[in-house]
Amino acid sequence: MTAIAENDVDSPCWRDDSFIGLLHEARRWDERAYLKLETAFFALCETRKTDGRTRKKIDRIAARVFSYAMLTFSCHFDPNDGYSIQNLAEDDIYLWRERIQLVFEGFFAGKLPNHDTLRPQNPSALGSTGDSAHRQ
C-alpha cells in the first residue's frame, strides 16, 4: 500500500521521487518508479476484490494516478502545451501509454494482464498472472 500512497499528493506517504512526483516535477519517466507502482497494483488486486475499505482507498489513488499519467501523455503531444516528457522517445511514450491503459483497466476490472506479456518485463512481478484477455 505504501508504494501506491507514495504517488498520492494527499497522502502523508507522498514522495517527490515517486513515479507521479518525477513525472510531474522533473518531467521524467522513471521506469523503476513506475514498475514499483505497477507491482503494488498487481499485489493488491486480489485484496481489493474482497476488502471494501482497501478497495475505496486504492481505487481513489489508482484513478488519480491513471488520470494524471494519461493527461501527461496528452500534454506531451499537444503542441500548445509547454509540458513534455523529457527522457522518452515517441515510440516509448506510445508503448508506456498502452501499458498503463492495459494495467489500470485490468486493475479496475479485477483481471490484470498476464505479466509476461507486458514489455518491458517487470522483474519484481515475473510469475504474476492475470487474465489472458488483456494481453498486449
- pLDDT 10s digits, 69-126: 999 999 999 999 999 999 999 999 999 999 999 999 999 998 999 988 888 888 876 5
pLDDT digits (tens, 9 = 90+) for 3-50: 999 999 889 999 999 999 999 999 999 999 999 999 999 988 888 877
Single-letter amino acid, residue 14: W
Give pLDDT, residue 133: 33
- In angstroms, the first-to-last Cα distance of the chain is 26
Q: Which pLDDT score, from 0 to 100, does residue 48 have? A: 80
Looking at residue 56, what is its pLDDT? 86
pLDDT at 124: 79
pLDDT given for residue 126 in this prediction: 53
Residue 128, pLDDT > 50, answer no
Give the pLDDT band of residue 1 (cuts 50, 70, 90): confident
Q: Which of 89, 82, 74 is nearest to 29 (CA)?
A: 89
Which sign does the torsion angle of CA 56, 59, 65, 69 carry? Answer: negative
- Which residues have C-beta within 8 Å of that of residue 94, sequence separation ≥ 6? none
